[in-house]
């Protein structure tokens, strides 16, 4: 394979090494400059389903792009396959980018891949990315923390194995002084709302639903906790959704302006 | 003022508008491509003390750079002054970048500035940035979340007003299944360790201290919760420090390799 050397190429990416690179939320402009350089320098890029075409377009013309997206229910087998593919490519002397949606260190299963590399004597490093919660807050025009009202920011994932209930500590999550960012929150939205209400979070706690944050297909919906299951019915998209729950979400003017499904909000106003 | 129009300039940054831009952890390569474009297009940049020279170098040659760093104990007065300066610049027809270390939506006091702009009829938007916890995890070569061991990621700030005790919910923070990221954690490290131990977090819970994440001056120290106050004595730097507490920190090979103050670690090994 002939691969032109990318302009920004440096000595932190020799042949036979691996970079786990955060692709950010989807908008190619929200890549870091470092991620851009590494993608341009890679000879092979292993990427998730969530990494968009605008990001992959940055790869060199001779680079191989390998889709290793996982499907629900077959995680463990697929993760082992991904680990093996990355290690084999590095041992074959490739410059490997493993491109992950968001930030590799936040719900990215990076540890499995780092450990596989290290066990094989392959050098693996991490380039951070913008996580979905930061991108969603930017789109909403709000802050995730708010002095005196939201002093704690909590990230959890609501992705459970098929058929299993979520195993989360709802008592500590139902904190009116926190902002709760729930990744992969779409399927479990009803369970999330019921559990938080049962553990004492007020019914009128504001909730923002952000689907495909930062992409042209982004959808934003503003509602309240007791109406969250109803509001999810208005989310027609198929992309990953982030739920942001807490008082700070009351301060988003864009949440109101961008709102889809205004009937849900009107109903919320009436009920309050 | 004559200001050359930056190459990447687009119609999302007309005169008289404000962008709150995340400068990331310090390394100019960890800026997003969007942040770079906005900084290059600004006619005035209001920046914190934590924003490094490599980032500010991207501003156009004719742009004004205004340092609005805050000092402990005089926050409220200074915040009002910053709000006023930003609004006045926008109303005077400038293209205003308000550059904040890390991500504007995470402990960035963005809401005050957004509200001030909106009250004055000035359009203000947010460009997200890499937050310190993501950068620190990348430097440590570890993940902040870990399936089955660290399913929750919690961000708090340990910056209290002078002389006041930290007002944090230690009971819910002392969760052995979480990773705790404590921003501005240096001064309060002793109080943090005592409170978490008192609320049941095991003495051998691993802790990483990361100062100046991503900068050439970065310092990383690996210890355990009961030894945290002792370990802080080995941190000679004056930069902001992030504490990462939880089982996931056990999986960082770089934490060991990069360690300063190995006597603290040796003592920890002996005691365990």
ipTM of the shown complex: 0.89
Q: Which two tokens stand for residue B32?
A: 């997003």
Interface test with B, best of A39, A100, A104, A128 (most B CBs within 10 A): A128
Helix, strand, coil percentages, rounded to 5, for chain B: 35, 20, 45
Answer yes or no: is pLDDT of A256 > 80. Answer: no
Q: Which residues contact A222 (CB under 8 A, 6 or more apart)?
A: A206, A207, A208, A209, A249, A252, A255, A256, A259, A265
- pLDDT tens for the 272 residues of chain B, in order: 334 344 344 589 999 999 999 999 999 999 999 999 999 999 999 998 888 789 999 999 999 999 997 654 555 458 899 999 999 999 999 999 999 999 999 999 999 999 999 999 999 999 999 999 999 999 999 999 998 889 999 999 987 666 667 788 999 999 999 999 999 998 899 999 999 999 999 999 999 999 999 999 999 999 999 999 999 888 777 788 999 999 999 877 655 444 443 434 433 333 33
Residue A177 touches chain B, beta carbons under 8 Å: yes
Q: Which residues of chain A neighbour B155 with C-beta distances below 8 Å? A: 145, 152-155
Share of chain A above pLDDT 90, in %: 71
Q: Which residues of chain A neighbour B172 with C-beta distances below 8 Å? A: 171-172, 175
User: Which pLDDT score, from 0 to 100, does residue A166 have?
Assistant: 79
Greatest alpha-carbon pair distance for chain A in Å reads: 65
Of A67-71, A105-109, B241-245, the one with minimum mean pLDDT is A67-71
Interface test with B, best of A134, A246, A249, A254 (most B CBs within 10 A): A134
Rounded to a whole number of angstroms, the distance from the CA of B270 to the nearest CA of chain A is 26
User: Which pLDDT score, from 0 to 100, does residue A71 have?
Assistant: 56
Answer yes or no: is pLDDT of A162 > 90. Answer: no
Residue among A103, A154, A171 minimizing CB distance to B152: A154
CB contact under 8 A, A134 and B131: yes
User: Which pLDDT score, from 0 to 100, does residue A148 have?
Assistant: 84
Spatial separation of the C-alpha atoms in residues B192 and B190, rounded to whole Å: 5
Q: How far is CA B73 from CA A239, B51, B76, B113, B161, in A?
A: 45, 20, 8, 19, 6
Q: Residues B25, B215: contact at Cβ < 8 Å?
A: yes
Q: Enter the DSSP assignment of B229.
A: H
Which residues pair with residue A139 across a beta bridge?
none
Average pLDDT over residues A153-166: 80
Q: How far is CA A124 from CA A33, A116, A168, in A?
A: 19, 9, 31
Rounded to a whole number of angstroms, the distance from the CA of B32 to the nearest CA of chain A is 4
To the query of whether residue A1 is one of the catalytic residues in this protein, the response is: no
User: Which pLDDT score, from 0 to 100, does residue A253 have?
Assistant: 65
Q: What are the boundaries of each domain within chain A?
A: 18-127, 132-271
Which positions of B are annotated as active-site residues?
Answer: 48, 70, 184
Q: What pTM was computed for the model? A: 0.90
Please list the alpha-helical segments (H only) found in chain B: 33-41, 53-56, 75-91, 110-119, 132-140, 170-173, 189-198, 228-232, 253-257, 262-271
List the 101-140 stretch of A: residues with Cβ below 8 A of B.
Answer: 103-111, 114-115, 118, 124-131, 133-135, 137-138
Q: In CATH, what class is A18-127?
A: alpha beta
Q: Which fold has domain B132-271?
A: 3.30.950
CB contact under 8 A, A141 and B157: no
Average pLDDT over residues A86-90: 98
Spatial separation of the C-alpha atoms in residues B204 and A249, rounded to whole Å: 37
Spatial separation of the C-alpha atoms in residues B104 and B129, rounded to whole Å: 7
User: Which pLDDT score, from 0 to 100, does residue A144 have?
Assistant: 97
Q: Enter the DSSP assignment of A164.
A: P
Q: Enter the DSSP assignment of A162.
A: T
How do beta strands A124-127 and A206-211 pair? unpaired
Residue A11 touches chain B, beta carbons under 8 Å: no
How many A/B residue pairs have CB atoms within 8 Å?
Answer: 177
Closest CA to B158 of B173, B145, B138, B171: B173
Q: Residues A44, A62: contact at Cβ < 8 Å?
A: no
To the query of whether residue A169 is one of the catalytic residues in this protein, the response is: no
List the 180-239 stretch of A: residues with Cβ below 8 A of B.
Answer: none
Q: Which residues contact B256 (CB under 8 A, 6 or more apart)?
A: B222, B265
Rounded to a whole number of angstroms, the distance from the CA of A11 to the nearest CA of chain B is 15
Chain B residue with minimal CA distance to A111?
Answer: B143
Answer yes or no: is pLDDT of A262 > 80. Answer: no
CB contact under 8 A, A130 and B135: no
CB contact under 8 A, B30 and A34: yes
Chain A residue with minimal CA distance to B250?
Answer: A111
> Which residue has tokens 């390569």?
B29
Closest CA to B24 of B97, B101, B110: B101
pLDDT digits (tens, 9 = 90+) for A164-203: 677 889 999 999 999 999 999 888 999 999 999 999 999 9
Closest CA to A168 of A145, A207, A196, A202: A196
Which residues pair with residue B72 across a beta bridge?
none
List the 29-58 stretch of B: residues with Cβ below 8 A of A.
Answer: 29-34, 36-37
Residue among B110, B127, B141 minimizing CB distance to A114: B141
Q: What is the CA B193 to chain-centroid distance, rounded?
A: 21
Residue B95, Ramachandran bin (φ over 0: left; ψ between -120 and 50: alpha; else beta): beta
> Which candidate in A184, A232, A249, A259 is catalytic?
A184
Spatial separation of the C-alpha atoms in residues B236 and B103, rounded to whole Å: 26
> Which candidate in A9, A12, A34, A48 is catalytic?
A48
> Which residue has tokens 């205003």?
B96
Q: State the pLDDT confidence band at A114, using cuts at 50, 70 and 90.
A: very high
Spatial separation of the C-alpha atoms in residues A14 and A77, rounded to whole Å: 30
Answer yes or no: is pLDDT of A270 > 70. Answer: no
Within a 10 A sphere around the Cβ of B49, how many other Cβ atoms? 12
Residue B141 touches chain A, beta carbons under 8 Å: yes
């Amino acid at each position: 394979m002939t691969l032109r050397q990318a302009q920004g190429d440096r000595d932190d990416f020799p042949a036979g090494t691996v970079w786990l690179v955060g692709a950010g939320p989807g908008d190619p402009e929200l890549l870091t400059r470092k991620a851009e350089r590494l993608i341009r320098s890679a000879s092979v890029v292993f990427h998730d389903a969530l990494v968009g075409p605008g990001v992959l377009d940055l790869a060199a013309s001779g680079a191989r792009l390998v889709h290793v997206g996982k499907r629900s229910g077959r995680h463990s087998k697929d993760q082992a396959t991904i680990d093996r593919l990355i290690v084999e490519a590095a041992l074959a002397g490739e410059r490997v980018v493993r491109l992950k949606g968001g930030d590799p260190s936040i719900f990215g299963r990076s540890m499995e891949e780092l450990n596989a590399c290290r066990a094989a004597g392959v050098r693996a490093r991490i380039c951070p990315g913008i996580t979905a919660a930061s991108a969603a807050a930017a789109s909403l025009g709000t802050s995730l923390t708010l002095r005196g009202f939201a002093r704690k920011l909590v990230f959890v994932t609501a992705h459970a194995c098929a058929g299993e209930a979520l195993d989360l500590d709802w008592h500590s999550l139902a904190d009116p002084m926190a902002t709760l960012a729930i990744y992969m929150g779409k399927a479990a939205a009803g369970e999330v709302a019921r559990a938080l209400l049962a553990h004492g979070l007020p019914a009128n706690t504001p909730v923002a639903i952000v689907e495909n944050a930062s992409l042209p297909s982004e959808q934003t919906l503003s509602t309240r906790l007791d109406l969250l299951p109803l509001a999810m019915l208005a989310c027609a998209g198929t992309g990953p959704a982030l739920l942001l729950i807490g008082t700070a979400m009351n301060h988003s003017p864009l949440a109101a302006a961008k709102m889809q499904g205004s009937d849900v909000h009107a109903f919320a106003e009436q009920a309050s």
